[in-house]
Structure 1
Amino acid sequence: MMQIALFGNPNIGKTSLFNQLTGSYEYVGNWSGVTVEEKIGLLKNKQAKLVDLPGTYSLNPLSRDERVVTEFLLRNHFTSIINIVDASQLQRNLHLTIELLEFGKPLMIGLNMIDVAKSRGIEINIQNLSNKLDVAIQPIIARTGKGCNQLLEKITYEEKLPQEPFRLDYGVIIETGISKLVDLLYECPIDLPSKRWLAIQFYSGNDTVKTYLERLLNHALLLELLAETEKELLETTGQTLQDAIFEKREQFIRTVLNDSVVITNEVRQSLTDKIDRFATNKYLGMPIFLTLLYFMFMITFNWIGSPLSDALDSFLSGPFTNLLENILYKFGTSAYLFNLILDGIVPGVGGVLVFVPQIFILFFFISVLEDSGYMARISLVMDRIMQSIGLNGKAFIPMVIGFGCNVPGIMSARTIEQPKERLITILLTPLMSCSARLPVYALFAGVFFGENQALVVLSLYTMGVVLALVLAKLFSKTMLKSEASVFVIELPPYRVPHLGTLAKSTWDKGKGFIKKAGTFIFGGTVVIWLLSVVGRSGFNVTMDDSLLAELGGFLAPVFAPLGFGSWQAAVALLTGFLAKESVVSTLNIVYHTSSTAFLQGVVADSYTPLSAYSFLVFILLYIPCLATVATIKKETGSMKWTIFSMVYPFIIAYVISFIIFQGGNLLGL
């Protein structure tokens, strides 16, 4: 089967196009690095596989995710290329196009954002552009799917794509160097990618290609060839190899665009520019962001989300439980299985599922921020703060993604070029309040803080971010000093969110929560229930005599100074390491409650507002969940840093919760 590779600059709709062509849904966001490794999908017409690769401005990689692209070209077999190009930024985008054309595979261009180009007064003669580049071009709008079906019809017919490799003349000196290296490569016994492309990449300073060639050819010979060509070029033109190659490409691109693009009506100040005067303002940007978050939480926890969750809770604890009970009686279910289902699985899994409306509402608003183009501005606003602590705005991107789930947030740190900055970001991203913590927030904030629960939840999110910034400053000044870096991010134009994209995005984020409730938490509730009915004296013991109570009683004194020294809280925190949602399901089982409403009553009797807030802060900060820890191990490749990522948050969580509870008691709160 044909395999087509999808290439493009960051944040120009590459993943949106992948979704349109395959019918699948991958995470889409308005910042670079959303795709951090290759993804493969089957085209809708079943005639080829499509590989979605991380966005990159050049095949000369600066970060780990960009290296994925070059490694793919060096080591993978594929039949053709789709290069998605931003119609409103052709001059910059075509640099990557030239590198791909030089690779020699059949290539087709998906000319995206033609609507944006038109709004900026940019008119493109597509036929002229196609003739100049000698490639087929299909105008598209990837967000809405316009033109994507036509692209799908064309890309699977290889005979319609150009077969001859693109050739750009780099001048006598560089061309001589290319010819010498190509001659050496013909002596290699293995099947290589385009030899001319390898030579051009080598001379343009691509370290990944250089490492690749050093395994095939004599290292000293390569260095000699490079030094000889570089010296001759410097003596003749005063340019470095990289500068000369870039300039030749830039000259070619300007020639192509002069014959293909006309600025009909240059817009002096677009709507995007007008909004950005406020949204990215040095003084207004952060207050605007916090205000938006506050209203998001009000809608999620007060105005809409809470009534919907209450209605779902009433259904699950009432009609659904009664129906299930009647069915179990009808089939003569054994007492143990009957109790397991009604006292374990239903309250455990149901206690998490009742928060699905709030989870989906929050994810919907996050998707709106992404699809509108605002999310990228948050990173730009944060760059000023991040620079002051030794990082840059790109490090905030994984943290923003971490609000949904820490795992993809940590993986997206691959976009950060500096290794030490990347490591700091990985270590701090778990401090971001992921969606798995929301059920715990909703439960306790709803009981103790009433109309102010949105403000309380906002304070937890803000605390995680502020603490991460403080620790970033500490780490970057002590054990992880790093060199200064430059922050570059693509700011897309503001757009009215597309309803279909919002629906897909919200579902994609939320389905993981439901899936976890139906699998991981389901299994966990079975184990927790069994431990709650088994004791030293055998089966069917009271809850207080169970192995679960014994385990919790052993751990409880550790948490007593923090205001939640009950064995029930200790057990909930223990299962929270496996999945943060399990805290609520565990509390439902250990308190033997049949609904969230009953659990809220028990929680109200077991905690005070002060101890409840201390508990929420501890949930926010303590050990990352098991999946996050496994991802940290994979991304860092270090057991030392993995253990550190588990130990330091626990210490910080303990200290801050201790200060909150004991300090609050001293103040008479």
Structure 2
Amino acid sequence: MQRDNHVHVAFVGNPNCGKTTLFNAITGSKLKVANWPGVTVEKYEGTLEYEGYGLKLVDTPGIYSLTSYTIEEKVTRKCVLDDDIEVIVNVVDASCLERNLYLTLQLLELGKPVILALNMMDIVKERGMEIDMHRLPEMLGDIPVVPVSAAKRTGLDILMHAVVHHYEEGPKNDILDYGPAVEEKLALLEERMQSKYPNHSSVRWHAIKLLENDEEVKKDHPLEVESIVDRNYEKDITEKKYEYIEKVIQEVLFYKDRKAASTDRIDKVLTHPVWGVPVFLCIMALVFFLTFFVGDFLKGGLEYALGIISELVRAGMTGLHVADWMISLIVDGIIAGVGGILTFVPNIFILFLALAILEDSGYMARVAYVMDGIMGKVGLSGRAFLPMVLGFGCTVPAIMATRALETEHDRRRTMVITPFMSCSARLPIYVLFSEMFFPQCAMVVAFSMYVIGMVMGILVAMVQHKLEKGKINQSLMIELPEYKRPNARTIRTYVWNKLKDYLTKAGTTIFVASIIIWFILNFGIHGMVSDPAESFGAALGRILVPVLRPAGLGLWQIAVALISGISAKEVVVSSFSVLFGVSNVNSAAGMASIVQNIQHFDPAFGGLNAFCLMLFCLLYVPCVATMATIKKESGSWKFTGGIMLFQIGLAWLVSVLVFQIGSFFI
């Protein structure tokens, strides 16, 4: 019998199980984004009319367990426990069934209808494995088990039909028996829960959590349990769950051993306690080899096209008798600034493509595992290294990824060190200056910036750890997924989204910055100037020259470029295009022209100065978007301002030391 025609449905699953992709495929454009109350984690809601029901769908953050430590776990747990949630869709990565079922067993104990959505069945077939689709639902209490494909949008209608039908039927009975000793205590706890909280919908789950001494449950639902709970039963309960999962896997999953054996063989090398870190560095070195050599080969066409466009625009505007200042703004300001950045698209494309392949293959989880020992020595777990790895792409999502850490203290510490990872926006700076001043070993010099960034982040964390008198942090507990062939659709989507963000930035932030820089370089207190040395930009830069000179950066043009780089790091490159009037900064002629111009003002400016400039760009304050994200995630202007001052001071100190010491040998 139908109870209500409005049903609240929560989508719950492990990270990277395809849950959000499935949620988006079902909700389509009817999507609303907000924040969960009291936290910065985004909340996605969608609505759907199906078989006479109005379905309100909620996408929860990915979690491995309902034992809450991280922000995501707390948010998801609070959501599924809410009486408003009437049906749970547990999205499971079918290719990693064993890892996903632990959460499934916990959800079944909530006393709410659960539908198992088996995603990524195509990967199961690719690996030569089979799942018994009749036995699996039987062993999970006859709950609906629906094969779906979020990427191919198959099985969605059947899944929604199961949601409605299972809502009408109500929850199934409990399937897991924890043995006489534990079950006896659970029965007593359930009886007390029902007596004190008669309308409670998740009595058994709460009784289990009371046996596990869960602090939040004890706080939210006070109950006299001392006469029943004589110790912490969490280990006993966890072991029973995994025993049952092993039994399920043995009965429903076939031909898994071959793939597991292959994964184990690869992991003997990639996660080796000695060779794991060198292998990671070699893999990253290969990534940057491809970024330089393949990227540089591809960008030649863009450089040529940019040169032609600049000349055509200049000739066309001259033919139309456009004012000289307008020609200069369009050609020397906008085209030089934005176009110079666009020529780096091939390098950025190769970098994102390589990172996407590493992530989708399952290797990045191994990186966190390998780095756990090093991170442990500085008071952080290997989990903190995941935001740092994300920082190679963009620091904004990397800062947001610190939500996966267990405490606010660990999140803030990781926010401090993550900006030291070289994001893609810094890559154009490294490519330009390493090729200008280190043509024989440009790739090695650029790669050294990535290594220095990682080392600097770890050193800063170590100092923090010592100042906190060695506060011990928990070690990383992570289940490593099996290796898989990267999915072309997933990689294409990831790379396109990243390139789109880069191109959007070129069309907005860098576009505006290029115009502003042109204006401050072409206008002074007496109006428009022909010599940039008399401009507002020069006056501003000269104020900072005495500060930057000890670091080998004593040109006002460099000071202006560094200030502009706070808007977005790519703007440092576009600033040099505008500052020195070079329309195609990334071409051989353009780079030679910049070197000539720099050495005209400072004949001693050479490789050491360029290296210190790259160091300063690596270490000084990140872009405005990153600082805004740090403020949003930390909720503190004081903390955000402290990071800004710390990074500027550290960048200056390191650059000065390298330049002063290097000057003795060069």
- TM-score normalised by the chain length of structure 2: 0.85
Structure 2 contact 548–554 (Cα < 8 Å) conserved: yes
Evaluate the alpha carbon distance shift between residue 327 and residue 49 of structure 1 in structure 2; reply closer, same or farther with a 3 A threshold: farther
Of all paired residues, the percent bearing the same amino acid is: 38
CA distance in 2, matches of 1:183, 1:348: 71
Give the stretch that moved more between structures: 462-471 or 304-313.
304-313
| Cα deviation code 1:560-582 (max 9, x no counterpart) | 11112111000010111121111
* Structure 1 alignment gaps of length 5 or more: 25-34, 215-221
Q: What residue is the counterpart of 1:67 in the other structure? A: 74
Residue 158 (structure 1) shift: 3.5
Structure 2 contact 399–629 (Cα < 8 Å) conserved: yes
Q: What residue is the counterpart of 2:659 in the other structure? A: 661
Read off the aligned partner of 1:316 and give its amino acid letter. Answer: L
Residue 15 (structure 1) shift: 4.5
Evaluate the alpha carbon distance shift between residue 334 and residue 478 of structure 1 in structure 2; reply closer, same or farther with a 3 A threshold: same
Structure 1 contact 54–66 (Cα < 8 Å) conserved: yes
Residue 360 (structure 1) shift: 0.8
Q: What residue is the counterpart of 1:315 in the other structure? A: 305
| Cα deviation code 1:379-407 (max 9, x no counterpart) | 12211222222222111111000111111
Evaluate the alpha carbon distance shift between residue 350 and residue 152 of structure 1 in structure 2; reply closer, same or farther with a 3 A threshold: farther
Structure 2 residue corresponding to 1:279, chosen from 270, 274, 290: 270
Residue 279 (structure 1) shift: 1.1
Structure 2 contact 148–154 (Cα < 8 Å) conserved: no
Read off the aligned partner of 1:633 and give its amino acid letter. Answer: K
Structure 2 residue corresponding to 1:426, chosen from 403, 415, 421: 415
CA distance in 1, matches of 2:635, 2:650: 24
Structure 2 contact 12–62 (Cα < 8 Å) conserved: yes
Q: What residue is the counterpart of 1:171 in the other structure? A: 183
* Structure 2 alignment gaps of length 5 or more: 1-5, 30-39, 599-604
Residue 445 (structure 1) shift: 1.0
Structure 1 contact 53–69 (Cα < 8 Å) conserved: yes
Structure 2 residue corresponding to 1:55, chosen from 38, 52, 62: 62
Read off the aligned partner of 1:665 and give its amino acid letter. Answer: S
Q: What residue is the counterpart of 1:27 in the other structure? A: none
CA distance in 1, matches of 2:25, 2:500: 20
Read off the aligned partner of 1:309 and give its amino acid letter. Answer: K
| Cα deviation code 1:41-67 (max 9, x no counterpart) | 789999967544322222221112211
Is the partner of 2:15 in helix, strand or coil? coil
Read off the aligned partner of 1:358 and give its amino acid letter. Answer: N
CA distance in 1, matches of 2:243, 2:276: 39
Structure 2 residue corresponding to 1:7, chosen from 12, 18, 25: 12
Residue correspondence of structure 1 range 578-593 to structure 2 within 5 A: 578-593=567-582
Structure 2 contact 83–201 (Cα < 8 Å) conserved: no
CA distance in 1, matches of 2:373, 2:652: 30
Higher relative contact order (CA 8 A, sep 6+): 1
Structure 1 contact 81–105 (Cα < 8 Å) conserved: yes
Structure 1 residue corresponding to 2:610, chosen from 605, 609, 612: 612
Evaluate the alpha carbon distance shift between residue 96 and residue 185 of structure 1 in structure 2; reply closer, same or farther with a 3 A threshold: same
* CA RMSD of superposed structures (Å): 3.4
Is the partner of 1:306 in helix, strand or coil? helix
Q: What residue is the counterpart of 1:501 in the other structure? A: 490
Give the stretch that moved more between structures: 648-657 or 174-183.
174-183
CA distance in 1, matches of 2:537, 2:555: 12
Q: What residue is the counterpart of 2:144 in the other structure? A: 136
Residue correspondence of structure 1 range 215-230 to structure 2 within 5 A: 222=222, 225=223, 228-230=224-226
Q: What residue is the counterpart of 2:32 in the other structure? A: none
Structure 1 contact 36–412 (Cα < 8 Å) conserved: no
Residue correspondence of structure 1 range 35-54 to structure 2 within 5 A: 37-39=42-44, 51-54=58-61
Is the partner of 2:441 in helix, strand or coil? helix
Is the partner of 1:304 in helix, strand or coil? helix
Structure 1 contact 38–68 (Cα < 8 Å) conserved: no
Residue 594 (structure 1) shift: 1.5
| Cα deviation code 1:198-256 (max 9, x no counterpart) | 66556654444555x36xxxxxxx2xx2xx3342243xxxx545456556756765776
Residue correspondence of structure 1 range 480-491 to structure 2 within 5 A: 481-491=470-480
Structure 2 contact 81–202 (Cα < 8 Å) conserved: no
CA distance in 1, matches of 2:49, 2:25: 9
Q: What residue is the counterpart of 1:29 in the other structure? A: none
| Cα deviation code 1:323-381 (max 9, x no counterpart) | 44466567775554443222211111111111111101111011111111111111122
Q: What residue is the counterpart of 1:470 in the other structure? A: 459
Structure 1 residue corresponding to 2:556, chosen from 567, 575, 600: 567
Read off the aligned partner of 2:92 and give its amino acid letter. Answer: V
Evaluate the alpha carbon distance shift between residue 625 and residue 266 of structure 1 in structure 2; reply closer, same or farther with a 3 A threshold: closer
Structure 1 residue corresponding to 2:354, chosen from 348, 353, 365: 365
Is the partner of 1:493 in helix, strand or coil? coil
Structure 1 contact 122–264 (Cα < 8 Å) conserved: yes
Q: What residue is the counterpart of 1:28 in the other structure? A: none
Read off the aligned partner of 1:94 and give its amino acid letter. Answer: L
CA distance in 1, matches of 2:582, 2:447: 28
Q: What residue is the counterpart of 2:33 in the other structure? A: none
Structure 1 residue corresponding to 2:108, chosen from 101, 105, 126: 101
CA distance in 2, matches of 1:45, 1:392: 45
Residue 81 (structure 1) shift: 2.7
CA distance in 2, matches of 1:193, 1:522: 56
Structure 2 contact 522–528 (Cα < 8 Å) conserved: yes
Evaluate the alpha carbon distance shift between residue 91 and residue 498 of structure 1 in structure 2; reply closer, same or farther with a 3 A threshold: closer
